[in-house]
């Protein structure tokens, strides 16, 4: 039975392939060793890189803003795609390159802006990985030769995701507008107070609000005898009225700013953190053993393909004839 199976196998084309591999075994072994050794030397000279990971669930962007103290609704696949697209956007990338000085850190010396941009994008694509998991969460993986920097870049991306969601809620924008409005009112009040004090000092103008105090009654009598003071009286009264209105508006603006500030402080975290960023303690790359095995496997497959291809071209024809002669002699014996 075994003899019959052996004869059948010899008639197939796979038998010839096996013969080619046996005849070219030295070339295959040496090529595999060269690939594995080259990979080992290369990755031994590489710097160790540390991995920091974080994972979170974005909110449902269509339900923003939520009330202070309310629970956040988890986002859908569309929300995840929007947030990943934002984290990969040019605005976030340029901000990250500027803050962490990635051009100097990656030692990019190209003078051409296009080449420099291409190298930065390539290195960022290699060291920063943002993807959607099967559990419908966003996972961020950041690599760097420094564990602190790896953690800080990961935390920066999480903060940018939080800012993106908060900007949709518009609460911070409303707070900033309220602060700007209050600052503008404060400047107007200061200018009006300066003009009012100059008018009082230059023209000795006193209004009915000042007449309630006894020491100013004499001054008012003197003002009534001064024609210039009488000409400026209406102007001073108008400025006093405007100042009182500004003070009322300023009080309302202050209450609005305080309300917006309390809302920001008590506003819920929009990102549902599954795993917050952490500072790694052990290096994750290069994975020397795995890469060496992969390189050896590539060398083996490449050399085996070359050997089989050369065998099909008749490179091992004489060696095959000698092998067949030895088999015939062995069978007769």
The span from the CA of 280 to the CA of 53, in Å, is 9
pLDDT band of 47, cuts 50, 70, 90: confident
| Residues 76 and 206 both lie in one domain | no
- φ, ψ (nearest 5 deg) of residue 47: -75, 145
Q: Considering the domain boundaries, does residue 332 fall inside one?
A: no
Q: Is the pTM of this model over 0.85?
A: no
Q: What domain range is 17 assigned to?
A: 12-45+287-322
| Residues 24 and 58 both lie in one domain | no
Does pLDDT of 218 surpass 50? Answer: no
What is the per-residue pLDDT across 91-135, written as a single tens digit (0 to 9) for each?
898 899 889 888 888 778 777 888 888 888 888 888 999 999 988
| Residues 189 and 317 both lie in one domain | no
Q: Considering the domain boundaries, does residue 101 fall inside one?
A: yes
The span from the CA of 49 to the CA of 153, in Å, is 14
Note whether 241 and 111 are within 8 A (CB). no
Beta pairing, strands 138-144 & 272-275: unpaired
What is the per-residue pLDDT across 181-211, written as a single tens digit (0 to 9) for each?
788 888 888 887 787 777 766 655 555 455 4
Q: Is 8 helix (H, G, I), strand (E, B) or coil?
A: helix
The whole-number average pLDDT for the span 251-270 is 69
| Residues 152 and 280 both lie in one domain | yes
**Structural domains in the chain (count):** 3
Note whether 247 and 189 are within 8 A (CB). yes
| Residues 37 and 152 both lie in one domain | no
What is the per-residue pLDDT across 224-260, written as a single tens digit (0 to 9) for each?
555 555 566 667 767 777 777 877 887 887 777 777 6
User: What does the buried/exposed string (b/e) look like for 2-23 if buried means 16 or more CB atoms within 10 Å of the residue's CB?
Assistant: eeeeeeeeeeeeeeeeebbbeb
pLDDT of residue 167: 74
Q: Considering the domain boundaries, does residue 89 fall inside one?
A: yes
pLDDT band of 5, cuts 50, 70, 90: very low
Token pair, residue 245, equals 């209105």
């Amino acid at each position: 039975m075994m003899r019959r199976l052996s004869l059948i196998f010899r008639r197939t084309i796979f038998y010839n392939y096996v013969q080619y591999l046996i005849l070219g075994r030295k070339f295959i072994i040496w090529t595999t060793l060269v690939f594995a050794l080259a990979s080992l030397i290369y990755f031994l000279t590489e710097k160790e890189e540390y991995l920091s990971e974080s994972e979170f669930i974005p909110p449902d962007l269509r339900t923003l803003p939520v009330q202070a103290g309310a629970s956040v609704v988890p986002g859908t696949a569309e929300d995840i795609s929007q947030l990943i697209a934002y984290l990969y956007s040019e605005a976030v990338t340029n901000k990250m390159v500027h803050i962490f000085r990635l051009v100097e850190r990656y030692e990019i010396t190209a003078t051409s802006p296009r080449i420099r941009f291409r190298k930065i994008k390539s290195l960022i694509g290699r060291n920063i990985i943002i993807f959607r998991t099967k559990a419908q969460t966003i996972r961020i993986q950041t690599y760097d030769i420094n564990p602190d920097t790896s953690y800080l870049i990961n935390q920066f991306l999480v903060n940018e995701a939080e800012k993106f969601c908060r900007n949709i809620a518009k609460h911070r924008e409303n707070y900033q507008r309220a602060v700007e409005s209050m600052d503008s009112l404060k400047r107007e009040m200061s200018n009006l107070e300066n003009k009012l004090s100059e008018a009082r000092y230059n023209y000795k103008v006193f209004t009915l609000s000042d007449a309630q105090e006894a020491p100013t009654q004499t001054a008012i009598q003197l003002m009534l005898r001064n024609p210039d003071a009488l000409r400026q009286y209406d102007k001073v009264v108008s400025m006093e009225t405007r100042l009182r209105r500004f003070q009322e508006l300023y009080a309302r603006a202050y209450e609005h700013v305080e309300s917006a500030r309390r809302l920001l402080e008590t506003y819920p975290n929009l990102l549902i953190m599954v795993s917050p960023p952490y500072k790694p303690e052990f290096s994750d790359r290069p994975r020397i053993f795995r890469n060496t095995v992969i390189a050896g496997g590539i060398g083996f497959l490449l050399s085996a393909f070359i050997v089989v291809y050369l065998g099909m071209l008749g490179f091992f024809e004489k060696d095959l004839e000698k092998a067949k002669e030895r088999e015939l002699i062995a069978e007769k014996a």
